[in-house]
Amino acid sequence: MTPRADVFFLPAAHDEQRLCLFHAPAGAARSKILYLHPFAEEMNKSRRMAALTCRALAEAGHAVLQIDLRGCGDSSADFGDASWADWQADVRLGLAALDARIPDGLPVWLWSLRAGCLLIAGDWGRPVNHLFWQPMPSGKLALQQFLRLKLAADMAGGVGKGLMEQMKTDLAAGRSIEVAGYTLNAAMASGLDTAQLVPPARPARLEWLELSTRESASLLPASEPVIKRWQDNGWQVRPQVVQGPAFWATSEIEVAPVLIDRTLEALS
């Protein structure tokens, strides 16, 4: 039986800490994986699914590290204090923590969900494989979807006219706004808005998994040009559509068991 996760606080810059959960592999490690959670409330909706998958991966021999990015979960700072650059720094922090626990020489994976997939840009100094769950093709789209949460709430109250433009004006002027209980600052909004799903310079493997409640569904239209760009840059890309609910956005906590199975197969 796989042991329980080791919960610890990882020291970060400015005397801060990041909450981490390390899932040790059952037996000899086959790979090491860093999980990057999605944006804002989607993180909380996805915790159950992430936890189940971490356990399954550990039982299959993978070493998995979960990290709460700055301002998220039980890590230091408030959500409204964090920037996109802070989160990119946390990715490097998490990879270094994995290296400290598991020797080099094993395949390295960044496993990310939704807007978390946009954090992968950069040169990691080595080939790093990627596992995408329902990736967002651009940060601009992710930001628009997030802002629409406030737009929908205010329109229900009859005060939504001109709100989208006002929110963008406030952010462009460096002012923070409140969206669905979260404080969104200008630095975070700007970083997310300009983020792109660009392939890193060192080609490796990309497992691209999308969810649909329909049988025999196709990839989202916006996914195809992004996948081609990665393939043109030398990446081995294997996209597939898996049947299951959009658990990051459902009103009740849901899971997608088939997605866990396909993830294990993808990393085998």
Question: In the chain, what are the domains?
Answer: 6-137+197-266 (3.40.50.1820), 139-194 (no CATH)
Please state the three-class secondary structure of the chain as a single string: CCCCCEEEEEEEHHHEEEEEEEECCCCCCCEEEEEECCCCHHHHHHHHHHHHHHHHHHHCCEEEEEECCCCCCCCCCCHHHCCHHHHHHHHHHHHHHHHHHCCCCCCEEEEEEHHHHHHHCCCCCCCCEEEEECCCCEHHHHHHHHHHHHHHHHHHCCCCCCHHHHHHHHHHCCCCEEECCEEECHHHHHHHHHCECCCCCCCCEEEEEEEECCCCCCCCCCHHHHHHHHHHCCCEEEEEEEECCCCCCCCCCCCCHHHHHHHHHHCC
CA distances from 5 to 64, 94, 122, 244 (A): 9, 16, 29, 26
pLDDT digits (tens, 9 = 90+) for 86-127: 999 999 999 999 999 998 789 999 999 999 999 987 778 889
Instruction: Decide if pLDDT at 128 tops 80.
Output: yes
Buried b (16+ CB within 10 A) or exposed e, 42-55: bbebbeebbeebbb
CA distances from 205 to 109, 143, 166, 225, 267 (A): 9, 27, 42, 17, 10
Q: Which of 113, 121, 108, 136 is nearest to 267 (CA)?
A: 108
Overall average pLDDT of the 5-25 stretch: 97
> Distance between CA atoms of 256 and 249, rounded to whole angstroms?
13
Q: What's the confidence (pLDDT) of residue 122?
A: 74
Q: What's the confidence (pLDDT) of residue 161?
A: 67
Band of pLDDT at residue 265, cut at 50, 70 and 90: very high
Structural tokens at position 146: 């997030």
Contact 102, 32 (CB under 8 A): yes
Name the pairing type of β-strands 16-23 and 6-12.
antiparallel
Structural tokens at position 10: 């990882």
Q: What's the confidence (pLDDT) of residue 120?
A: 87
Band of pLDDT at residue 1, cut at 50, 70 and 90: low
CA distance from start to end of the chain: 19
Instruction: Decide if pLDDT at 186 tops 90.
Output: yes
**Phi, psi (deg, nearest 5) at residue 8:** -150, 165
Q: What's the confidence (pLDDT) of residue 23?
A: 98
250 Ramachandran zone, left/alpha/beta (phi>0; psi -120 to 50): beta
> Distance between CA atoms of 73 and 241, rounded to whole angstroms?
30
Instruction: Decide if pLDDT at 63 tops 60.
Output: yes
Contact 100, 235 (CB under 8 A): no
Structural tokens at position 101: 């626990």
